[in-house]
Every structure is written in C-alpha cells, then in structure tokens.
Amino acid sequence: MQPTLLAIAKADLITAERLVDSDNKYIKHQAAYMTQQSIEKTLKYLIDLKTGSQPWGHDLEKLIRLAKSSGILIPETIDKHKTLYSSWEAVTRYYPQAIIRRDMIQKAITATKDWHYRLKNEGIK
C-alpha cells in the first residue's frame, strides 16, 4: 500500500525530533528543514483531501492561504510563524551562516505534532 503524504509528513517530523538537539549546527538545520517539510506535506495532504487538487511549491504562506480558503483549520503557532517556517526550506540548505534558534524549531515540532494528533482524533490518517 502506498503511504499517504500525511504519513510521510509524520516521518519527517520524527526525523526532526531526532536531529533538533544536535550540537552540530548543520544537523540542527536539518531538523528545521524536516519540520518545514512536515508542515508543507501536511498542508498539501489536507488541501488535496478537501479539494481534490494537489498544490505545488514550498511557500507555506501560499499553502496556508489556500488551506484557509478551503475551510481547513491551521494551528495558531504555525499560522503565526509561517514566514519563518517557510524560510527554512531554502535557508537550511543553502545558507550555512544562518542562525536558526533551537527553541523555534522545537516550538514548530510541538505545534505540528499537536496538529497531527488533532487530525488523528478527527479520523484523518
């Protein structure tokens, strides 16, 4: 059976949790990247589930606008920090001098985990 995009998003988040406490800055950056990917894939999964369309791109701001216009509830923390989280898609891979705070990554991980838990309780797997 083919995994859903949500299943892959959950795996991305597990990976982020394993990397976030690393003392190596670039491994910690990968935790931020994997968290951004988890948020992005969760949004894309929910949009597809709700509308039948598969959005393209990495811009969380655009994906959140599309999700909200489709009646999808977005966690407050993710909505509030969408610009920051969206930046992690490129910054973490191409700008080694970037500073990404561990506490912000952990905040995003927690918000995304809570979101996945809420979706599971709503019967969305």
Q: What angle do CA 58, 28, 117 make, to 5 degrees?
A: 60
- The model carries a pTM of 0.96
Domains of the chain: 5-120 (1.20.120.330)
The tally of CA atoms less than 13 A away on the side-chain side of residue 12 is 22
Q: What tens digit of pLDDT does each residue of 73-114 get? A: 999 999 999 999 999 999 999 998 999 999 999 999 999 999
Core vs surface per residue 61-90: b (16+ CB within 10 A) or e: eebbebbeeeebebbebbbebbebbbbbbe
Q: What tens digit of pLDDT does each residue of 36-78 get? A: 999 999 999 999 999 999 999 999 999 999 999 999 999 999 9
